Structures are given as structure tokens and as C-alpha cells.
Amino acid sequence: MCGIVGFIGNRDCKEILLYGLEKLEYRGYDSAGIALINEDGVKVFKEKGRIADLREGVDESVMASRGIGHTRWATHGVPSKVNAHPHQSTSNRFTLVHNGVIENYDIIKKAELADVNFVSETDTEVIVQLIDKNVNSGLSVEEAFRKTLSTLKGSYAIGLLDAQDQDTIYVAKNKSPLLVGLGDGFNVVASDAMAMLQVTKQYVELMDKEVVIVKKDSVQILKLNGDKVERSPFTAELDASDIEKGTYPHYMLKEIDEQPFVMRKIISQYQDDNGQILLDEDVRNAMLAADRVYIIACGTSYHAGLVGKHYIEKFAKVPVEVHVASEFSYNMPLLSEKPLFIFISQSGETADSRSVLVQVKEHGYKALTITNVPGSTLSREADYTLLLHAGPEIAVASTKAYTAQLAVLAILAVDVANAKGIKLDFDIIQEFGIIANAMEALCNDKDRFDMLAKEFLSTTRNCFFIGRGIDYYVCLEGALKLKEISYIQAEGFAGGELKHGTIALIEDGTPVIALSTQEHVNLSIRGNVKEVVARGANPCIISIRGLENDEDSYTVPAVHEDFTSLVTVVPLQLLSYYAALHRDCDVDKPRNLAKSVTVE
Ligand code: M6R
């Protein structure tokens, strides 16, 4: 969480920093700030709220060609102007932005900085005060920076300015993402290439516990012990237009609409010239060697993992367990003899998942990451990667990444089934084409979902989603989507489970959204709907062509029974979207959340 940017070069950088921070708002948006350095010294501008609020407070007349900036998701201390970054040392010599969490900040404060008067409640302020103290003890700034970093426990991506040296931005990274971008006569720093695409596509990746001395025409990477590191830059395969909303009112709606395109893109990426599924041979062999697959993920990616379990067990006949990363990390179950770990993560940066990956690697187990972000931490640190090819997902609520995750998991399962000679009753490439068309039809029916959202969700306090089998897994995802952007208390349940307690919450008019796409449980789920209706619920049944009934609120186009999740999730995404609009919620930036959860 939190995003940082920096610029050092040949032109005024206020707008570059502010624009970059806007592109990083998905990482946190409760307060923001920039620091500019020129011959008059360092000027800091901070505000509680969004980058738009910060913009209003920045003095247009200050010209500076060096600066750093930050957009915050609060961990230590409430969102406020005082707690917003950049933070300065008491002497005002050093100014710093930080993304991450310093676990031992309190110990450092008491042991080394007892005489310092701290102004904020943040863990970050400890870093800048300690650098100042170390410089005062006689070290050079670079030495003091490296010494301070060696003292820190936790995660950090840091940008540091020294008021006595206008020609350098000091940068460091551990566990939090950070890139240095290269330009002609300037260099930049950013948590994500998206922030600086307007000025460069050339980036240097940084490894954990590296320090970078960034000047306008040079970039020097060092290890914490001062050893020099050489690394070639890479070109970001992103286009500035990929990250714009275009004519859409919200990124979420744009990303929902992109799903048919993403399905077709995935087909093309995982297909050979003969129209057969094509997967990295190493990934296939790792799957074939495993006696059990452990899927580790969080939030929406965890929900995708549940559907992935269905694919892998049913098609490839490999047993699968799906675990929430934050639990697995501290409560590892008894493992099989030859486990393969699959990490599912849109961002590839989720701290809870990474913490499991670190443990898995310590045990010497193999790991595959399924992610949307090439070069992300989880991708780099796993043995294998499968990419989602979904394009940047910017709305906090994950939509196209979820369907892309299902698609890639299905391809993986089918590929392993093929390798084992297991006959399947479908051609996945053909099925994906049908699914893409069905998604398109649903996206073209937005008015209907707007009306349903108005009818069922515009004023309700709570909402239940029920389904059985893979419909149940989609219900979990539908409920998460609804609660995170509309703040309606929403829960997904297995259809048969509600009567074991939760049915007590059903009151007159409580909306219950039921999915029915599986023939073998169609009658049972409809029976469960009758049970809640008898207690006053307002049912919204979403069925599939072939199983529809007069009482249904919506029927999605027919697709193969094993792949209905790829289609039924679209109405749930759109219902959530319109519910949030009807309730005047900020769709793309819901309260308390951030897109990339880089703290445990
Ligand atoms: O980047 P990841 O897929 O690892 O993120 C995991 C969750 O934080 C994420 O899916 C979250 O639940 C979404 N905001 C849900 O829409």
C-alpha cells in the first residue's frame, strides 16, 4: 500500500510528480504529499485526502527539477496532514517518503531516538530521524542511509532528499515494490511503471535490500554493504492509453467490459499454431510431479482458487487444497509428500501471499505464480509464472483479473489432463469463444442490471448470495464485490447452509441473490430459495439458459456447465457496480481499501 514517486532532472517536476501520484492512487488514497528541492531549499506540501486535494495546496510558483511524492494508505496513525508523507528530520535537513511497515520502529525510537521530538504517529518518521542522527555522528549521507536501513526490520520502498545536496535522490527497497526509470537528462523513481509512463518506458528493477543513488544522469545500485551492482534496464510493455479511463465514468466499468477481450487474448496467448493449448513444459511437469496442489491467495484471488480447485480436480485428477494466505502463513497444515504451491495474485505483490511463498521456498518446495504483473515480486520469487494477460487492473474491485484467473487455471487443468491422456467432453478453445460472446451479451445488457440493482440493492442494509458447488464460489465473490464498493453487509453461502443459522437474519424484504447454473443442484437451490422466501426474503434468481424458470430475475446465456462461473460473475459485478452508484459510493476508490495490499 502507498505509492511513491521521485524525479531528478532537467525540467520543473511538480506536474510529473502529481500526475504520477494520481496513477498510484490505487495503492492508497487517504492523504498525499510532495517535497520539492531547489536553490531556496526544500518545500513540502501535504494534504489529507486525494491527490486532487493536494494539487490545490501546491504553490504553483515554486519551480523545482527534483522532488519526491507519496500517496498514503494509513497503517501507523490516522489519515491526517501531520501523518501524511513526506516526513522531515527535526533539523529539516532530510525529507523522506516511505511505502511499507517498519516493525521495530518503537524499539528504535526508545533505544536510539529517545531525545527526538516526533511530530507524527508514523513508523516512517523514525527512518528520517535516524538518518539525520547517523549523519550527525560523522557518517556520509550514503553511509548513514545504508546504516539506518541495516537497523530496520520490515518492508520499505524509500525516497530521500538531502537539503544540502540538490543533485541526489537516495532510494532503497525491501519487500515493497520500487523501480528506477531512466530518461534522457533525467531519472525517475516509482512504485509502479504506470506512474512514470508519461516520461519513460525504460526501467531498472530493484532487488530487496538494495540502495540506489539516483542523479539526473546516473543511477548507481549498491548492496547494503556498499558493494556495487550492475543491472540492465527493461522496457515496460505498457502503453499510457492502457491506464486511462477513456470515455468510461469508472475504471471498474471499463474493466468489466474488457472481459470478453481478455478471454480472447488468453486464448491467443496459450494456443499453438495448430489450435492446441500450449503451456510452459516446466509448469506441466511440475503439475505432473505433484501429488497435491496447494493454492494460496487472498480476497478475489482466493475465490478464483476455489473454482480452480474444481477445474484441477475434475479435469486433471490432482487433489487440491485452497488456503487463505494470511491463515496458511501461521497455521500450515500437514503437507503431502510432493506438494506444488500455486500462488494466485493479480498484483503479484500481496504481502500475505508473499510471506507464504518465502516459507515454501525455505522448505524447498516448488511454486507457481499466476499473476497479471510480469516481474512482480511473487512472479520473480516463484519457480514458474503464468501470466493473466488482462492488462492493468486499476479499480480496487477486481473484475477482469478474476475471470482471467479462472481462464488460466482452466487452461492449466486442461493441459495436465491432456498430458495424462484424460479425455474431456469439450474443446476449451471453442468453449472460451462461447464464453467471450456470452460475456459480451451481458455487458450489453447494463440497463437491466442497473434496474435490478435499483430494485434489490439501492436501500437495503444487507444481502445474501446463495449457490451450490461452483455457484457457491461465485457467490463468495459476488458478496465480496458488493460489500467492498457499496458497503452493504453481504455474505455468500452454500445454499444448504443458510438454514443452519444464518436464516435467522432473513427479514421482510432482505434481498437473497441465488445462482442456479448447475443441473444436478438446480432443484435443491430453488428449494433453498423457497425457504428464504417463506421468511420474507426478496429473491433475485440468476439462472442459465436451459435451467430458467418464470420466477427468475435474469438468465445468462448457456455455456458449458463447468465454466458457468466465468459468465455468472459478470451480472454480480454489474449489480455491485450499479448498487454502489445508487448509493453514491466512490466505485473505484472505496473507503479503507487499496488495490495492492503490501502489508501483512
Ligand atoms: O493482488 P492480489 O490478487 O493478490 O490481491 C488480493 C486481494 O487483495 C484482492 O483480490 C482484493 O480482495 C480485491 N480488492 C477484491 O476486489
CATH number at residue 169: 3.60.20.10
Beta strands in 545-593, from DSSP E residues, in sequence order: 554-556
Give yes or no for residue 327 having a pLDDT over 80: yes
- pLDDT the model gives residue 242: 79
**Which amino acid does the sequence have at 55?**
R
Domain finish residue from 386, 411, 443 = 443
**pLDDT digit string (tens) for 123-144?**
999 999 999 999 999 999 999 9
Whole-number Å distance, alpha carbon 396 to ligand 1 midpoint, is 8
Domain co-membership, 318 together with 253: yes
Domain co-membership, 436 together with 495: no
Whole-number Å distance, alpha carbon 526 to ligand 1 midpoint, is 31
Atom of ligand 1 nearest to the CA of 597: 8
Ligand 1: does its nearest atom lie under 6 Å from the Cβ of 573? no
599 falls within a domain: no
Angle at 150 between CA 144 and CA 155, to 5 degrees: 115
Ligand 1: does its nearest atom lie under 6 Å from the Cβ of 396? yes
Pairing of strands 366-371, 384-387: parallel
Domain finish residue from 420, 443, 466 = 443
- pLDDT the model gives residue 476: 98
Domain co-membership, 130 together with 255: no
Domain co-membership, 304 together with 401: yes
Ligand 1: does its nearest atom lie under 6 Å from the Cβ of 31? no
**pLDDT digit string (tens) for 282-319?**
999 999 999 999 999 999 999 999 999 999 999 999 99
Residues in the chain: 600
Query: From atom 11 of ligand 1, which residue's Cα is the shortest distance away?
Result: 299
Whole-number Å distance, alpha carbon 369 to ligand 1 midpoint, is 15
Domain co-membership, 146 together with 280: no
Mutate to test the pocket of ligand 1, among 301, 408, 484 (most ligand atoms within 8 A of CB): 301
593 falls within a domain: no
Ligand 1: does its nearest atom lie under 6 Å from the Cβ of 353? yes
Ligand 1: does its nearest atom lie under 6 Å from the Cβ of 301? yes
Beta carbons of 8 and 68 less than 8 angstroms apart: no
596 falls within a domain: no
Q: Give the integer Cα–Cα distance in Å for 282 and 534.
A: 54
Atom of ligand 1 nearest to the CA of 299: 12
Distances (CA, A) of 535 to 105, 505, 520, 549, 550: 53, 10, 25, 21, 21
Ligand 1: does its nearest atom lie under 6 Å from the Cβ of 398? yes
Give yes or no for residue 341 having a pLDDT over 80: yes
- pLDDT the model gives residue 599: 74
Whole-number Å distance, alpha carbon 343 to ligand 1 midpoint, is 12
Domain co-membership, 548 together with 568: yes
Whole-number Å distance, alpha carbon 297 to ligand 1 midpoint, is 9
**Residue 570: domain span:** 445-587
**pLDDT digit string (tens) for 57-73?**
999 999 999 999 999 98
Ligand 1: does its nearest atom lie under 6 Å from the Cβ of 478? no
- pLDDT the model gives residue 75: 87
Atom of ligand 1 nearest to the CA of 396: 14
Ligand 1: does its nearest atom lie under 6 Å from the Cβ of 397? yes
Q: Give the integer Cα–Cα distance in Å for 365 and 361.
A: 6
Domain co-membership, 203 together with 256: no
Q: Give the integer Cα–Cα distance in Å for 94 and 86.
A: 10
2 is catalytic: yes
327 falls within a domain: yes
Ligand 1: does its nearest atom lie under 6 Å from the Cβ of 155? no
Domain co-membership, 219 together with 136: yes
Ligand 1: does its nearest atom lie under 6 Å from the Cβ of 597? yes
Domain co-membership, 402 together with 280: yes
Ligand 1: does its nearest atom lie under 6 Å from the Cβ of 371? no
Q: Give the integer Cα–Cα distance in Å for 119 and 328.
A: 38
Query: From atom 4 of ligand 1, which residue's Cα is the shortest distance away?
Result: 345
Distances (CA, A) of 126 to 87, 142, 202, 253, 587: 9, 17, 33, 41, 35
594 falls within a domain: no
313 falls within a domain: yes
Order of strands, edge to edge, in the sheet holding 41-48? 41-48, 31-38, 66-72, 3-8, 187-190, 179-182, 202-205, 234-235
Looking at every residue in the chain, the average pLDDT score rounds to 95
545 falls within a domain: yes
26 falls within a domain: yes
Give yes or no for residue 1 having a pLDDT over 80: no
- pLDDT the model gives residue 212: 98
Helices (H), 156-215: none
Helices (H), 270-397: 281-289, 299-311, 325-328, 351-362, 377-381
Using 50, 70 and 90 to split pLDDT, how confident is the model at 268? very high
Domain co-membership, 371 together with 504: no
Give yes or no for residue 561 having a pLDDT over 80: yes
Q: Of 55-59, 274-278, 348-352, 551-555, where does mean pLDDT reach its minimum?
A: 274-278
Domain finish residue from 443, 463, 496 = 443
Domain co-membership, 140 together with 156: yes
Using 50, 70 and 90 to split pLDDT, how confident is the model at 166? very high
Whole-number Å distance, alpha carbon 596 to ligand 1 midpoint, is 7
Beta strands in 199-353, from DSSP E residues, in sequence order: 202-205, 210-215, 218-223, 228-229, 234-235, 292-297, 320-324, 339-345
Q: Give the integer Cα–Cα distance in Å for 590 and 579.
A: 13
Ligand 1: does its nearest atom lie under 6 Å from the Cβ of 296? no
Domain co-membership, 457 together with 336: no
Whole-number Å distance, alpha carbon 299 to ligand 1 midpoint, is 5
User: Phi/psi class of residue 172: alpha, beta or left (left: φ > 0; alpha: ψ in -120 to 50)?
Assistant: beta
**pLDDT digit string (tens) for 548-557?**
999 999 999 9
**Which amino acid does the sequence have at 395?**
A
Give yes or no for residue 598 having a pLDDT over 80: no
CATH at residue 453: 3.40.50.10490
Active-site option among 23, 48, 201, 595? 595
Give yes or no for residue 244 having a pLDDT over 90: no
Mutate to test the pocket of ligand 1, among 597, 598, 599, 600 (most ligand atoms within 8 A of CB): 597
Q: Give the integer Cα–Cα distance in Å for 528 and 545.
A: 20
DSSP of 25-68, one letter per residue? GGG--SEEEEEEEETTEEEEEEEES-HHHHHHHS-TT---SEEE
Give percent of the chain with pLDDT exceeding 90: 90
Atom of ligand 1 nearest to the CA of 347: 1
Counting the structural domains of the chain, the total is: 3
Cβ neighbours of residue 212 under 8 Å, at least 6 residues apart? 170, 171, 172, 180, 189, 206, 219, 220, 221, 222
